[in-house]
Amino acid sequence: MKEGEFSLTALISAFGRAYHSKFDTPKIFDDYMAEKFISQQEFKDIKENMVKGIQFFSKNIAEKYKGNTEELLKWITQVQLSPTPLARAAYCEEVLLHEVKLGAKQYVILGAGLDTFSYRHPEFENSLEIFEIDNPTTQQFKQNRLKEVELDIPNNLHFTPMDFTKTFTYNDLINEGFTKQKTFISLLGVSYYLTKTELSSLLEHLFSEIPEGSSIVFDYADEKLFEEKGVSGRVENMVKMAAASGEPMKSCYSYSEIEKTVEKSGLFIYEHLTPADINDRYFKNRDDYLSAFETIHYMHVVKNKR
């Protein structure tokens, strides 16, 4: 994403969550608020652009469902667009809710985009401070959209504009009320776009000002990222689309590499989900196109608490 531009990825991710909430059963992650963050025109435009691009995704499917707009959209959304955002959000929130029970008082969302957690969980307004970090343009877009749909900003939600992929600093968070309490962090859909050095540095900075027991959930791509094609070529398509959008994917890891990266920052791996684990946990016994994305893993990593 170029400086000064709103993240189209954030809008498309919200579209995928909204589509799933409205049309898919059973639900992997029911973000029933997502549709409020997308205008009817945006929903229509994304839908049309997805369907128009079906030849890029699969010529066979384009021919099979020619003229059947809804089935084409369902196929693109369920095969290419939604699997990773839905499952990683479900996993992240499962961990977060457990961490809150264990005493986490702050939630930092890196690359928050059009996140809706604070609106789906008003019960935490007086017990969990939520800090959304993203680039200024994306955050301004979100705040403008909240005004348009007449949603008040909860008292515990704090917007912190920052290009954390280049320089992360706690100063702006502290100005918003952040303190050195047990904290949970999410870093979803970001690690692939960072170099290995950048991810390592970010993890070190993130955990430099928070106590033991604080933790993070993030996803990462394994060493097959640039060679795996995936179902209907979707992994290869993902890499190509990222490059075409000006945000090329930069990094993939073997398990030993990611283990060394987190250990270097004084962290340890509490839980690691492989694509097979993710498929078994979130996509089992479905009769639609949804399945876990090849090459993508999830991790819950904790600071120095063995």
Rounded to an integer, the average pLDDT of 212-232 is 97
Condensed to tens digits (0 to 9), the pLDDT of residues 148-183 reads: 999 999 999 999 999 998 889 999 999 999 999 999
pLDDT band at 7 (very low <50, low <70, confident <90, very high): low
Task: Give the phi and the psi of residue 26 in degrees, each rounded to 5.
Answer: -75, 165
Reported pTM: 0.95
Cα 210–Cα 251–Cα 297 angle in degrees, nearest 5:
70
Q: From the DSSP assignment, how many helices (H) and strands (E) are in the chain?
A: 13, 7
Quick one: three-class SS letters along 62-112? HHHCCCCHHHHHHHHHHHHHCHHHHHHHHHHHHHHHHHHHCCCCEEEEECC
Structure tokens at 103: 């005493």
> Which domains does the chain carry?
83-303 (3.40.50.150)
Pairing of strands 183-187, 215-221: parallel
Q: What pLDDT score does 4 carry?
A: 45
Angle CA 300–82–40, to nearest 5: 125
Q: Tokens 């992929």 appear where?
A: 165
pLDDT for residue 304: 80
Return d(Cα 177, Cα 9) in angstroms, integer. Answer: 29
Q: What is the pLDDT of residues 51-105, one digit of tens each?
A: 999 999 999 999 999 999 999 999 999 999 999 999 999 999 999 999 999 999 9
| Residue 147 confidence (pLDDT) | 96
How far apart (Å, rounded) are the C-alpha atoms in residues 61 and 54? 8
Tell me which DSSP letter residue 41 carries.
Answer: H
